[in-house]
Amino acid sequence: MASLSAASRLCLRSAAKPAVPAVRALSSTAVQAAGAASYSSPFKGETTGSKIPNFGKYASKNSAAGNKLFSYFMVGSMGALTAAGAKSTVSEFLVNMSASADVLAMAKVEVDLNAIPEGKNVIIKWRGKPIFIRHRTESEIAEANKVDVASLRDPQNDDDRVQKPEWLIMVGVCTHLGCVPIGEAGDFGGWFCPCHGSHYDISGRIRKGPAPLNLEIPVYEFPEEGKLVIG
């Protein structure tokens, strides 16, 4: 019984083996036949293996020179547009940062000199600082000019400190530590700073005390007779 059973198992195996390739072959043939009907390869030439797709239908029909010209034109145009945009942005930023009209108006101060009699001081405010305006007399001008400039701590001729000898215009801030000196005071008939005892002469030059420099001369002009513009 045992040998009969083994023989029947062997017989069954040998009968079953050829059936698988036959099914596989049938299956692949069916797929190929179906694919050939509905699929066309995107690759040039060979139908098998990895190849570069053919993009010929997307390629430009123009000449190489024409394509280059178009590329250069586009790059140049984009560059010009970008530069114009950047310039506009920077310009607007700078305009925003610049001083407004009311601030610019404060930058200059106009003074009517006809209202200041000879031998008198006037103090005005300009950009937050006091400005001394002295209408000097003939004797004060002569006194300012007779000083030996070489003996001064900050040597400066009177002529170099004034545009018109009769008008002395200075920033009224002591060059020591920034106090405001008092006019018509001190040992030299000019200005005296009470903070630490600096004496300035009738030309605003330091003559005595700790201040190192003469009183500063601001930017000013006489646009017409009897008119002073500071700033």
Active site residues: 196
d(CA 179, CA 174): 5
CA pair distance 168, 145, nearest whole angstrom: 13
204 binds ligand FES (CB under 6 A): no
Q: Which stretch binds ligand FES (CB under 6 A): 10-18, 49-57, 171-179, 219-227?
A: 171-179
Binding string to ligand FES for residues 101 to 140, with x set by CB under 6 A, is what? ----------------------------------------
**Complex with ligand FES: residue 120 or 129, whichever CB lies closer:** 129
Selected range binding ligand FES among 61-69, 146-154, 189-197, 219-227, rule: CB under 6 A: 189-197
To ligand FES, the closest distance from the beta carbon of 97 in angstroms equals 35
Q: Which two tokens stand for residue 55?
A: 């993009």
Number of residues that bind ligand FES (CB under 6 A): 12
Of the candidates 202, 228, 231, 196, the one whose C-alpha atom is nearest the C-alpha of residue 215 is 202
Can you point out the beta strands (E) in 3-150? 109-112, 121-126, 129-135
| Binds ligand FES (CB under 6 A): choice among 134, 176, 199, 207 | 176
Order the strands of the 198-201 sheet from edge to edge.
Answer: 182-185, 189-193, 198-201, 206-208
Of the residues 210, 217, 229, 231, which one makes contact with ligand FES according to CB under 6 A: 210
Binding window for ligand FES (CB under 6 A); candidates: 72-80, 162-170, 204-212, 223-231:
204-212
Decide: is 185 part of the binding site for ligand FES (CB under 6 A): no
Q: Does 179 bind ligand FES (CB under 6 A)?
A: yes
For ligand FES, give the closer residue by CB, 191 or 220: 191
* Cβ atoms within 10 Å of 198's Cβ, excluding its own: 24
C-alpha distances in angstroms, 124 versus 43, 59, 130, 131, 145? 90, 79, 6, 5, 26
**What is the rounded CA–CA span in Å between residue 76 and residue 162?**
58
Q: Are 171 and 218 in contact (CB under 8 A)?
A: yes
CA separation for the pair 204, 24 (Å, rounded): 116
Nearer to ligand FES, 111 or 211 (CB): 211
User: Is there binding between residue 177 and ligand FES (CB under 6 A)?
Assistant: yes
Kindly list the residues in this chain that would bind ligand FES in the complex (CB under 6 A).
174, 176-179, 193, 195-196, 198, 209-211
